[in-house]
Amino acid sequence: MTTDQISPDSMRPGEVYGFKTSGLTGFSPADTGRYAALKIGGRESGLIFFILFDGVFHGLPGLAEIELASYLTTGGHGGPRRPYGCFVKKDWECGLQEMRLIGRISVTDEDRALMLAHHTPHGPKCRTWDFASACVEARWRHANDQQSLHQEFDRQGRAEAEEWKAALQRHPWLRDQDPRWKWLNASIHPIHLPHWRQPPHPDGGRFTRMAEERLDALVSELSGLEGANQTLGRKEARQALRMCVIWFNDENRKSGHTLQAQERQDLYETFELILAIAGHLPLLAEIEHWRRW
């Protein structure tokens, strides 16, 4: 099975998948020519837990190679070492290249303990599938191509600073408000779609209520990811936003494609507000690739 044929619903604990790594930053070469592997360590409601193997390969590895490999570990420099693993939401798009099922090996007590350790008071630590590629590439580049890697990170840092500068110009209130999720809640700045209520939808406002609840859920999801991971990555924010836009696609279709121009503008402005607070305003432009309204 290739990446396009692999469904997270069909993934089972113990399965090992190989994949081709991707460029670590937006300024890295897109084709790395390197491959790596991961293991499905377990499943929970709506979540899949994977663990990364140590090692970079020139092609998809075989199961015999994986059975001899250890896990890629974090830490070092005097700190504790722990295998790289994370949860991913099963309905999030898989961005790994050339992903294929290699085979199956047993799930160990260590795997189960590692999965339990990735729970926080804010919820499970969730990343995207791309996190697997990023971890492997970061380790390899740091060991073999450190100078170029630092140059790419510098360029990325300057680009992100320009993004934030543009966000402040469009949303100057971000200078004065604490740009955390506590500012965007029902008591201070509730999600509100004014044009959706003028006049009410033919369904008596049901779509409007569901829409505002779905946007509230997006805020909760993004803030939860930030709390569990201690930061909100661009890729995690993109996946959460994408699933929200797809929800609006489906609900607009079910309602008979009732969204009008002003109502679509309400949605864009709300997404813009949420992404500005999240620190990922450039994702707003990507909505055009997903929306069907």
pLDDT of residue 188: 42
* pTM score of the predicted model: 0.77
pLDDT of residue 178: 55
- Tell me how far apart the alpha carbons of residues 280 and 287 are, in angstroms, rounded to a whole number: 13
R_g of the chain computed on alpha carbons: 21
- Tell me how far apart the alpha carbons of residues 83 and 75 are, in angstroms, rounded to a whole number: 9
pLDDT of residue 109: 95
pLDDT of residue 37: 97
pLDDT of residue 282: 84
- Tell me how far apart the alpha carbons of residues 103 and 113 are, in angstroms, rounded to a whole number: 22
pLDDT of residue 272: 86
pLDDT of residue 163: 80
Helices (H) and strands (E) in the chain, counts: 8, 7
- Tell me how far apart the alpha carbons of residues 193 and 215 are, in angstroms, rounded to a whole number: 10
**Which residues of the chain carry a pLDDT beneath 70?**
1-5, 75-79, 173-192, 199-204
pLDDT of residue 174: 67
pLDDT of residue 70: 94
pLDDT of residue 56: 94
Structural domain boundaries in the chain: 3-149, 171-290
pLDDT of residue 175: 66
CB neighbour burial string for 165-174, b if at least 16 within 10 angstroms, e if fewer: eebeeebeeb
Q: What is the mean pLDDT of the chain?
A: 86
Handedness of CA 287, 289, 292, 293 (dihedral sign): positive
